[in-house]
Chain A
Amino acid sequence: MVAKLTTSERQSAAVILLLVALAGIAMAAAGRNEAMGVHGLIVILFAGALLYPVLSAFYAPEPTEDRQASYYDEPIKVGIALAMGWAIFGMFMGVWVAAQLAWPNLHFDGAWSTFGRLRPTHTTGVIFGFGGNALIATSFHVVQRTSRARLAGQVSPWFVLFGYNLFCVLAVTGYILGVTQSKEYAEPEWYADLWLVVVWVTYFLLYIATIARRKEPHIYVANWYFMAFILVVAILHIVNNLALPISWGSAKSYTIWPGVQDAMVQWWYGHNAVAFFLTAGFLGMLYYYLPIRAGRPIFSYRLSILSFWGITFFYMWAGSHHLHYTALPHWVQTLGMTFSVMLLVPSWASAGNALLTLNGAWHQVRDDATLRFMMAAAVFYGISTFEGSFLAIRPVNALSHYTDWTVGHVHAGALGWVALISFGSIYTLVPALWKRERMYSPALIEWHFWLAIAGTLVYIFAMWNSGILQGLMWRTYTEEGTLAYSFLDSLVAMYPYYIARTIGGAMFLLGTAIGCCNIWMTIRLVPATVPEEADLPVKDAVVAGE
């Protein structure tokens, strides 16, 4: 890695890491024995661990080859590995907290291991750890291939990747220490948030600079989705995390937004995190890797443009559907509800576009589990966006809100759409990146596929049952006008569904573990396609996938 950098690039890498280490020392000094002091130590260790390879290769000979003649794939490879590592961690934590709901003793009497602290390690681990790393890696891949240009930086891709993972580490360790802003999907405290701003702005500039030096005049639609993802997440993150720490040495801060405005800003953030983190970026993957794997162009390019702008403009207004029947003005709730229902149009346009692309290639879907991952992802995308529009309608929300139905809906999207499209993309990407003929074992991909599908279905059917049951029990009145069931009654009724949910999640985790093994074996054992840098004439293109 470091040997491919020039001396001045090695110097900048070392300077950046020293500055990060200095910031860690300042945090450790200011935070003392509090959580922030521990985080200071983690920052120092993180910077030190990266400084070691930089310094040990510091005087190695400079690269001689023309780097502009090849794509910059090393950060992508590391990003894929990090994504799969976070997937295992995040999904394991998910199974653990799911099991805690069925068997509460599984927190083993620790303060750090209570449900409230472990649950955000699951959400952050899977959304930001797994999803975020997969997005960064695939966006680096897609922007280079569709622009026909190398990434516009040598050190900055590494800065983005490792800086982002430092943020994830600070977030997850913080929850275990009890550090939280108590804002869903925005739990990390002010110093981690400030660090993410630096990393994310670098990411955006790197992406724009790469687009700017493109050799292909047209900007392929996948790049629009990735750019919307990067830009909007920056805006959301900054606005929602405006907060004042109680002192420079404390991890505690208070948001600048008061009361109901805070709630609105939080759910404007929260729903757009679903829209632009968990949807736009992954649609970028869909619009690139699905045509590549199927070997046929997207069904309608026009439709992809229409649905891009539809999603971008509609989603911005939908967040208030999280606050039905609250102190939020009624017209704002109605606005959110209306836009949520309208969202069905661009969402189904994308799902339909993906499925129609496969029309005529169903034999490939049948034979190739990787393509089937992406097909199933498009189906789940269609299902969960329909469900989302439906749940956003105020009277439906009266039944579903605060119940497990919401949890089921989120997982239909997160497992069925986000994770499946990521696995499909990663299985397409790994042989191409490591220049292998194919994945190590198609049978293991089949196992992964069916475990993932079965686990997702078990999970969402359990949550549909328990959610609707909860909602109905909470609104059943006796003839005297009192509630028919206590909260405890509804909790006892959940018991079998919580067990089923744990089993579904464990199946999904097992599939992911099989995927990790398969990727590892591919890199280790599968023969390379051509000797690297072989001096061969350019042959006719062979489409990946068969």
Chain B
Amino acid sequence: MDFDHDTLVAFSKSWGLFYLMGFFICVIIYAFWPSNRKRFTRAKTSILSGEDKPWR
């Protein structure tokens, strides 16, 4: 099989779209997964704790 410019174009016009959409859906699911909410809330407030020493 010839692997030329047209092959790459065909690939990027078909699978290129699908993997980007697939990835987009995965990110949406991760961001909105209900049990992740607690983790995100903790993450965004934990930086405000004000302590300035590494944890041991």
The interface of chain A, by Cβ under 8 A from chain B, is 68-71, 144-146, 148-150, 215-216, 218, 220-221, 288, 291-292, 295-298, 301-302, 305-306, 309, 313, 331, 432, 538, 541-544
Residue of B nearest to A299 (CB): B44
What separation, in Å, do the CA atoms of A412 and B40 have in the docked complex? 33
Q: How far is the CB of A545 from chain B (nearest CB, A)?
A: 11
Q: Is B11 an interface residue (CB 8 A)?
A: no
User: If A301-B40, A302-B40, A305-B30 touch, does A145 touch B53 (CB 8 Å cutoff)?
Assistant: no
Residue of B nearest to A72 (CB): B54
User: If A218-B42, A301-B44 touch, does A69 touch B30 (CB 8 Å cutoff)?
Assistant: no
Residue of B nearest to A308 (CB): B27
Are the CB atoms of B47 and A288 closer together than 8 Å?
A: yes
Q: Can you identify 21 A-B contacts, CB atoms within 8 angstroms?
A: A69-B53, A69-B54, A69-B56, A144-B54, A150-B54, A215-B55, A216-B55, A218-B46, A298-B44, A301-B41, A305-B27, A305-B31, A305-B40, A306-B27, A306-B28, A309-B24, A432-B52, A538-B51, A542-B50, A543-B50, A544-B50
Q: Which residues of A contact B50 (CB under 8 A)?
A: 541-544
| A-B pairs with lowest CB-CB distance, top 4 | A541-B50, A215-B55, A301-B40, A297-B44
Are the CB atoms of A302 and B48 closer together than 8 Å?
A: no
Q: Which residues of A contact B51 (CB under 8 A)?
A: 538, 541
Are the CB atoms of A309 and B23 closer together than 8 Å?
A: yes
Q: How far is the CB of A534 from chain B (nearest CB, A)?
A: 13
Q: Type the 1/0 row for B14-49, where 1 means its CB is closer than 8 Å to any CB of A.
A: 000000100110011011100000011111111111
What separation, in Å, do the CA atoms of A298 and B23 have in the docked complex? 25
What separation, in Å, do the CA atoms of A538 and B30 have in the docked complex? 37
Residue of A nearest to B44 (CB): A297
Q: Which residues of B contact A543 (CB under 8 A)?
A: 48, 50
What separation, in Å, do the CA atoms of A301 and B24 have in the docked complex? 17
Q: How far is the CB of A385 from chain B (nearest CB, A)?
A: 19
Are the CB atoms of B31 and A292 closer together than 8 Å?
A: no
Q: How far is the CB of B17 from chain A (nearest CB, A)?
A: 11
Given A306-B27, A544-B50, 10 other A-B residues pairs in contact with their CB atoms under 8 A: A68-B54, A71-B53, A146-B47, A148-B54, A149-B54, A220-B43, A291-B47, A298-B44, A309-B24, A309-B27
- Give the B interface residue count (CB, 8 A): 27
Q: Is B1 an interface residue (CB 8 A)?
A: no
Dominant secondary structure of chain B at its interface with chain A: helix
What separation, in Å, do the CA atoms of A218 and B43 have in the docked complex? 7
Are the CB atoms of B54 and A331 closer together than 8 Å?
A: no
Q: How far is the CB of A65 from chain B (nearest CB, A)?
A: 13
What separation, in Å, do the CA atoms of A295 and B44 have in the docked complex? 11
User: If A218-B39, A302-B31, A331-B9 touch, does A295 touch B48 (CB 8 Å cutoff)?
Assistant: yes
What separation, in Å, do the CA atoms of A267 and B49 have in the docked complex? 42
Residue of A nearest to B13 (CB): A331
What separation, in Å, do the CA atoms of A305 and B24 have in the docked complex? 11
Are the CB atoms of B54 and A313 closer together than 8 Å?
A: no
Are the CB atoms of B41 and A71 closer together than 8 Å?
A: no
Q: Which residues of B contact A144 (CB under 8 A)?
A: 54
What separation, in Å, do the CA atoms of A544 and B30 have in the docked complex? 32
What separation, in Å, do the CA atoms of A464 and B49 have in the docked complex? 44
Residue of B nearest to A144 (CB): B54
What separation, in Å, do the CA atoms of A71 and B30 have in the docked complex? 32
User: If A306-B31, A313-B20 touch, does A216 touch B46 (CB 8 Å cutoff)?
Assistant: yes
Are the CB atoms of A145 and B56 closer together than 8 Å?
A: no
Residue of B nearest to A540 (CB): B50
Q: Which residues of A contact B40 (CB under 8 A)?
A: 301-302, 305
What separation, in Å, do the CA atoms of A216 and B51 have in the docked complex? 13
User: If A306-B27, A306-B31 touch, does A292 touch B56 (CB 8 Å cutoff)?
Assistant: no
Q: Which residues of A contact B54 (CB under 8 A)?
A: 68-71, 144, 148-150, 215
Are the CB atoms of A71 and B52 closer together than 8 Å?
A: yes
What separation, in Å, do the CA atoms of A12 and B51 have in the docked complex? 33
Q: Which residues of B contact A148 (CB under 8 A)?
A: 54-55
Q: How far is the CB of A360 from chain B (nearest CB, A)?
A: 15
What separation, in Å, do the CA atoms of A296 and B24 have in the docked complex? 29
What separation, in Å, do the CA atoms of A295 and B56 have in the docked complex? 25
User: If A218-B43, A301-B41, A309-B23 touch, does A70 touch B53 (CB 8 Å cutoff)?
Assistant: yes
> Which of A69, A70, A309, A544 has most chain B Cβ within 10 Å?
A309
Q: Which residues of B contact A295 (CB under 8 A)?
A: 48
Q: Which residues of A contact B31 (CB under 8 A)?
A: 302, 305-306
Q: Which residues of B contact A298 (CB under 8 A)?
A: 44
Residue of B nearest to A149 (CB): B54
Are the CB atoms of B48 and A221 closer together than 8 Å?
A: no
Q: How far is the CB of B20 from chain A (nearest CB, A)?
A: 6
Q: How far is the CB of B25 from chain A (nearest CB, A)?
A: 11
Q: Which residues of A contact B20 (CB under 8 A)?
A: 313
Contact of B55 among A70, A149, A432 (CB under 8 A): A149
Q: How far is the CB of B29 from chain A (nearest CB, A)?
A: 11
Q: Which residues of B contact A146 (CB under 8 A)?
A: 47
Q: Which residues of B contact A218 (CB under 8 A)?
A: 39, 42-43, 46
Q: Which residues of A contact B47 (CB under 8 A)?
A: 145-146, 220, 288, 291-292, 297
Are the CB atoms of A297 and B52 closer together than 8 Å?
A: no
Are the CB atoms of B48 and A292 closer together than 8 Å?
A: yes
Q: Which residues of B contact A432 (CB under 8 A)?
A: 52
Are the CB atoms of B45 and A297 closer together than 8 Å?
A: yes
Residue of A nearest to B49 (CB): A541
Q: Which residues of A contact B43 (CB under 8 A)?
A: 218, 220-221, 301
